[in-house]
């Protein structure tokens, strides 16, 4: 059955707009993002053009956010991993909060930043070469005069690290059954 573009797609739950073919395509690409379109088309039972159109559509909607090499941080000497939990001053205001978020976003050490519930405001995950790099980032954060407190934890051992969402497990891609 050939399908093209986005026409006729059934919404895939929670407004995702993903049908079964999109989900199968995402599953296949998450395992091998360099897989030829002809192979994908054969496995999915659609034309190469339909595969190309679906991929373009998924990229346009930012369901597929990019293609990249998964580089081992240790190979680059980035053996120190840390988590910083930040609490901002209540009097800091939105401008200072944006300044902190911008500083974190522009730091090459920072791999993710989450706004969280509870007493902390942000959870920051970073990788670096040495503990002094973490101290340097903390000094920059304190200089914003928006930080009330910070708690830093260093990773002693990585037990599981999946990074991103690929390769995807089928359970993450398959549509949930409606009750």
- At 112-125, the pLDDT tens digits run 999 999 999 999 99
Output the average pLDDT for the chain.
86
> Residue 67 has what pLDDT?
83
Task: Confirm or reject CATH 1.10.10.10 for domain 1-68, answering yes or no.
Answer: yes
Listed in order, the ranges of the chain carrying CATH 3.30.70.920 are 73-154
Q: What are the start-end ranges of the E strands in the chain?
A: 80-88, 110-115, 122-128, 147-154
For residue 161, pLDDT over 50 is answered with yes
Residue 38, classified by CB atoms within 10 Å of its CB into exposed (0-12), middle (13-18) or buried (19+), is exposed
Tell me the two tokens of residue 173. Answer: 């891609």
Sign of the C-alpha dihedral, residues 128, 129, 134, 137? negative
> Residue 176 has what pLDDT?
54
When pLDDT is averaged across residues 71-85 and rounded to a whole number, the result is 92
Helix (H, G, I), strand (E, B) or coil at 42: helix
Listed in order, the ranges of the chain carrying CATH 1.10.10.10 are 1-68
> Residue 72 has what pLDDT?
85
Alpha-carbon distance of 59 to 95, in angstroms, equals 33
> Residue 16 has what pLDDT?
67
Q: Which of 8, 3, 9 is nearest to 46 (CA)?
A: 3
pLDDT tens digits for 89-106? 988 888 999 999 999 999
> Residue 92 has what pLDDT?
82
End-to-end CA distance of the chain: 28
Alpha-carbon distance of 19 to 121, in angstroms, equals 36
Helix axes 20-31, 37-44, angle to 10 degrees: 140
Alpha-carbon distance of 12 to 21, in angstroms, equals 11
Helix (H, G, I), strand (E, B) or coil at 85: strand
CATH number for the domain formed by residue range(s) 73-154: 3.30.70.920
pLDDT tens digits for 20-30? 999 999 989 98
For residue 165, pLDDT over 80 is answered with no
Would you say 114 and 122 are in contact if contact means Cβ atoms under 8 Å apart? yes
Helix (H, G, I), strand (E, B) or coil at 63: coil
Which pTM does this prediction carry?
0.72
> Residue 26 has what pLDDT?
92
């Amino acid at each position: 059955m050939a399908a093209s573009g986005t026409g006729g797609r059934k919404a895939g739950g929670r407004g995702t707009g993903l049908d079964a073919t999109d989900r199968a395509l995402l599953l296949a690409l998450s395992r091998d993002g360099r897989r030829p379109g002809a192979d994908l088309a054969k496995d999915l039972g659609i034309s190469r053009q339909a595969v190309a159109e679906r991929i373009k559509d998924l990229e346009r909607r930012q369901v597929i956010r990019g293609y990249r090499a998964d580089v081992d941080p240790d190979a680059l000497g980035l053996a120190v991993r840390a988590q910083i939990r930040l609490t901002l001053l209540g009097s800091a205001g939105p401008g200072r909060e944006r300044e902190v978020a911008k500083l974190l976003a522009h730091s090459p050490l920072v791999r993710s930043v989450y706004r969280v519930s509870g007493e902390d405001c942000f959870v920051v995950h970073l990788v670096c070469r040495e503990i002094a790099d973490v101290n340097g980032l903390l000094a920059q954060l304190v200089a914003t005069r928006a930080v009330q407190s910070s708690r830093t934890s260093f990773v002693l051992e990585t037990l599981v690290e999946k990074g991103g969402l690929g390769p995807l497990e089928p359970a993450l891609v398959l549509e949930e059954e409606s009750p």
